[in-house]
């Protein structure tokens, strides 16, 4: 599967940060990109304007990954407009950090709901479409926290580890139908998600000596969408400057 002019991608959480960089890079390769967001329409519109200024093609889709009906409607709208969906990047995410002993149930549930239920709500209708097409690429954005655990992030680490397990199982289920499912696991990437963290302390723990940029992650996602990655399935690729 070569990235081509006809291809269509859906990137969740593409209004900002890593998702925005992924959308920009995929659009730069000629793909039609749907940028999904939940609430920050101004940021999403700016991300789309930026793509269109560079002669890229795309559209905005507002939906909340925690809501099944909204995910179903989004996938249906894409199929109606484009006739197919070649690439899904499950990127939308949040964190709600607390030491576990102090963690209240809503912090646990919101993070699980966004990452794990969100994966279920959106990926299932997409897989049903990709099975009909007999091709597709699914890339799930996990985290170094899901691979190694992070103090203060028991909820987030559990959700991101769950994404890795789901990816490996799904890759085995549908790998024979021309569909690959892989994980990209970023370390610390300079986005809004790091707001409030001690970045100088974090930098000292990273062998590369710097925070990652959204483009560092987007480049690996683009590779997984390319023909060169056709035999890469069920894998976890870290983008973390050597952190773990």
The least distance separating ligand NAP from the CB of residue 116, rounded to whole angstroms, comes to 11
Please identify which of the residues 34, 120, 156, 231 carries the catalytic annotation. 156
Contact call for residue 189 and ligand NAP (CB under 6 A): yes
The least distance separating ligand NAP from the CB of residue 65, rounded to whole angstroms, comes to 4
- Coil vs helix vs strand at 32: strand
Contact call for residue 58 and ligand NAP (CB under 6 A): no
Q: Name which position in 170, 188, 220, 222 contacts ligand NAP (CB under 6 A).
A: 188
- Phi then psi for residue 170, to 5 deg, are -65, -35
Contact call for residue 1 and ligand NAP (CB under 6 A): no
**Nearest partner of 19 among 7, 173, 50, 4, judged by Cα:** 50
Q: What's 55's DSSP letter?
A: T
Q: Is 34 a catalytic residue?
A: no
Footprint on residues 131-160 left by ligand NAP (CB under 6 A): 141, 143
Give the DSSP letter string of 127-172: HHHHHHHT-EEEEEE--HHHHH--TTBHHHHHHHHHHHHHHHHHHH
As a whole number of angstroms, the distance between CA 79 and CA 47 comes to 23
Q: Which stretch binds ligand NAP (CB under 6 A): 32-40, 100-108, 120-128, 175-183?
A: 32-40
**Nearest partner of 192 among 17, 21, 31, judged by Cα:** 17
Contact call for residue 224 and ligand NAP (CB under 6 A): no
Q: Please give the C-alpha separations between residue 85 and each of 31, 89, 165, 225, in angstroms, as whole numbers.
A: 11, 11, 24, 13
- DSSP H or E run through 174: helix 154-174
Token digits of residue 44: 């999403």
Output 24 or 38, the one with its CB closest to ligand NAP: 38
- Site track for ligand NAP across 76-115, x = CB under 6 A: ---------------xxxx-------------------x-
The least distance separating ligand NAP from the CB of residue 113, rounded to whole angstroms, comes to 8
Residues forming the active site: 156
Residues that bind ligand NAP in the complex, under the rule CB under 6 A = 12-13, 15-19, 37-40, 43, 64-66, 91-94, 114, 141, 143, 186, 188-189, 191-194
């Amino acid at each position: 599967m070569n990235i081509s002019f006809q291809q269509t991608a859906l990137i969740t959480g593409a209004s900002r940060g890593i998702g925005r960089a992924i959308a920009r890079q995929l659009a730069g390769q000629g793909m039609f990109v749907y940028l999904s967001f939940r609430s920050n329409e101004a940021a999403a519109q700016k991300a789309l304007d930026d793509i269109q200024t560079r002669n890229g093609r795309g559209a905005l889709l507002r939906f909340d990954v925690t809501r099944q009906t909204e995910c179903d409607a989004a996938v249906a709208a894409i199929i109606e407009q484009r006739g197919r969906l070649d690439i899904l990047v499950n990127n939308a995410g949040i964190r709600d950090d607390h030491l576990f002993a102090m963690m209240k149930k809503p912090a646990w549930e919101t993070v699980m709901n966004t990452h794990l239920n969100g994966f279920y709500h959106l990926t299932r209708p997409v897989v049903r479409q990709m099975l009909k097409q007999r091709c597709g690429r699914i890339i799930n954005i996990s985290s170094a926290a899901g691979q190694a655990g992070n103090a203060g992030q028991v909820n987030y680490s559990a959700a991101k580890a769950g994404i890795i397990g789901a990816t490996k199982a799904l890759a085995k289920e549908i790998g024979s139908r021309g569909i690959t499912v892989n994980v990209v696991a970023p370390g610390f990437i300079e986005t809004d998600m790091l707001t409030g963290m001690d970045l100088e302390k974090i930098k000292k723990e990273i062998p590369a000596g710097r925070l990652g940029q959204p483009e560092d992650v987007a480049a690996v996602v683009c590779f997984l969408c390319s023909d060169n990655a056709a035999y890469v399935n069920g894998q976890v690729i870290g983008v973390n400057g050597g952190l773990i």
